Amino acid sequence: MTALYQVAPWLQLGSVVFHETADATDSTSTSGLNLGGICTLGANYNLLFSAGKNLRDVASTNQRSIFLALQVLH
């Protein structure tokens, strides 16, 4: 489930909650929460960013993620 809100003309902020099923019979499923956004840098450039963490088995996995990208619209 994803939600994205326009908080300023140049900034959108949002979140995503996700669940991924196990990919093998001996592995486990996972769920997570990421927060991120899109920052407009100019007519043809956006900065995309996201950070989040795993919500299941946090004590044993402590998985986190970070994403940063420059979007070039041409």
Closest CA to 32 of 14, 49, 16, 48: 16
**Which of the two residues, 13 and 2, has the higher pLDDT score?**
13
H-helix or E-strand containing 24? none
Between CA 37 and CA 13 the distance in angstroms is 4
pLDDT at 68: 97
pLDDT of 69 strictly over 80? yes
**Number of DSSP helices (H) and strands (E) in the chain, helices first:** 1, 5
Q: Could you report the per-residue pLDDT of 11-50, keeping only the tens digit for each? A: 999 999 988 888 888 877 888 899 999 999 999 999 999 9
pTM, whole model, 2 decimals? 0.77
- DSSP single-letter state for residue 17: E
